[in-house]
Chains A and B, each alone.
Chain A
């Protein structure tokens, strides 16, 4: 940390903000705090504070669902990855998100919603019992505060690069604001601000893509420039370079993308990470809950236009070549600076303030998502479950409010831990494979297989998590071990994350199945509302076609396939 802080102080800022830019940013802070104060009167009960009164429309829940995932890490990190790896980074928005979001809406949401659970660990408690809930809640809490720390680091980096602001100042001002509005209005306030932030992110960032395409001469002009400037490297094809580990800049093959990312990590994140699932649980009825992820998937599919495209445009138009963090020297800009550099390239006073506000909004939406989910899981799944079972509803609301503050403070602490890692995104993938991949195995077996037992669920989850951490430690201690994890001597870091997630999921599933077959299952009467085959799903037969979630899921999946073919 000291070296980074020193770098932040010594580095020259890219540009200065005009009074108009500052006014744009100040107006944003006034609005988000104002919404928090306004909504405080509507958050009196636990249901209000932790689940926004379960009264959100499909649109609000859907936009919030996507916005909570849109931290500054998403904006900056994936723009950086697009510069580094080319259009391959789009896989994290398409195959790495869309099928899983649709699966959540169409298949899994009924079980979450009908069980009336308040959280994913809460579902595990209903399905598998207290040990599985405790393990999931603790690992989720740990992951959440670490993710918050990553978000903070990204945000502080942006402010350092663009404005020369002190890292600590950026972290504390933004964090205190998030803590204030979530403290006041709980999930309701977080969701409202996420919808607002979603608009600002789009309207602030899209200008880079529009002007970049004008400068580059459209899509074909951009591709031509990239080929001219980076001969021999394929930055503009999604699938054609994935035949082998050596044919693409990411060092991964199609199996890692399809099975590791597209199946395990994606399904794990979008269907079991409570940060995003909590937004959908706030929907006012089952149909809204099913539609919310489908609406979210449409916007998720469009996000590469404001995140990946700026990275590709930077390959085409930026005069300098950016480098990795480890190669950064005097005067050289790093991959992570690509979005701020593009912002500085096209935006004058006013628009620059809007662009900076978009980055701040991204940070806040991601952090509010983490903090509100952390407060819910801590209050319901740890505090109420293991410390104080019989307190009043108002007591738990009060605990939730103070957990918000605690979560922010712990996140600030972990931000400094995160600074030790050279590559932000690789670290995120490591975190996912530790906790999310095995959790997906446990949840999906719990929902679809009546025979899964409490012991099977607990031991599968524990073994999968430990196996993932063990594989991570193995490669850290002996980098050559990567050839065994990713099944190739040519695999790179990103492939390791995908394959580690895949192995940990497989281990979780095998252990769950074996232990379940050796232990006594729960009676079917206790599985009602929790498991496929033991739950009556309300029919949608009376709804016209255009109001049915399944219809819209089919529309989205067709668009998904068409896009993948176009950019093959």
Chain B
């Protein structure tokens, strides 16, 4: 698409989701040590941690698969 050197949209998606995954997972682990004063419903499930990991996994798959490589 659009010639050699063109960066795929899937790569951009991988970058953003990976960044979000790291940010949200780290936030989730931080909350384990310092629980918020007004926790959301079902806070005990620690959705922040596992959802952050899901984002990171999806992001890394796209990041690696569509990483621009010199030919």
Chain A residues proximal to chain B, CB less than 8 Å: 20, 23-24, 27-28, 31, 34-35, 38, 42, 53, 55-57, 60, 192, 195-196, 199-200, 203, 207, 210-211, 214-215, 284, 344-351, 354
> Are B20 and A24 in touch, CB under 8 angstroms?
yes
Supposing A31-B15, A348-B40, A349-B31 touch, asked if A211 and B45 sit within 8 A by C-beta, the answer is: yes
A195 vs B1: C-alpha distance in the bound complex, in angstroms? 16
Supposing A199-B13, A203-B17 touch, asked if A55 and B23 sit within 8 A by C-beta, the answer is: no
Residues of A within 8 A of B19 (CB): 27
Residues of B within 8 A of A349 (CB): 27, 31, 36, 48
> Are A214 and B45 in touch, CB under 8 angstroms?
yes
Chain B residues proximal to chain A, CB less than 8 Å: 1-2, 6-7, 9, 12-13, 15-17, 19-20, 23-24, 27-28, 31, 36, 39-43, 45, 47-48, 51-52, 54-55, 58
What are some 7 contacts across the A-B interface (CB < 8 A)? A31-B12, A42-B6, A207-B51, A349-B27, A351-B24, A354-B20, A354-B24
A346 vs B40: C-alpha distance in the bound complex, in angstroms? 5
> Are B23 and A351 in touch, CB under 8 angstroms?
no
Supposing A203-B55, A211-B42, A354-B24 touch, asked if A348 and B48 sit within 8 A by C-beta, the answer is: yes
> Are A348 and B31 in touch, CB under 8 angstroms?
yes
A329 vs B51: C-alpha distance in the bound complex, in angstroms? 36
Residues of B within 8 A of A203 (CB): 17, 54-55, 58
Dominant secondary structure at the B interface: helix
Closest 7 interchain pairs by CB? A350-B27, A350-B24, A192-B9, A20-B27, A348-B40, A31-B16, A345-B41
> Are A27 and B47 in touch, CB under 8 angstroms?
no
Closest to A19 in B: B27
Closest to B54 in A: A203
Instruction: Tell me, rounded to whole Å, the shortest Cβ–Cβ distance linking B18 to chain A.
Output: 11
> Are A60 and B48 in touch, CB under 8 angstroms?
no
> Are B24 and A196 in touch, CB under 8 angstroms?
no
Residues of A within 8 A of B16 (CB): 27-28, 31, 196, 200
> Are B48 and A350 in touch, CB under 8 angstroms?
yes
> Are B28 and A350 in touch, CB under 8 angstroms?
yes
Residues of A within 8 A of B55 (CB): 203, 354
Residues of B within 8 A of A23 (CB): 23
Closest to B41 in A: A345
A344 vs B39: C-alpha distance in the bound complex, in angstroms? 10
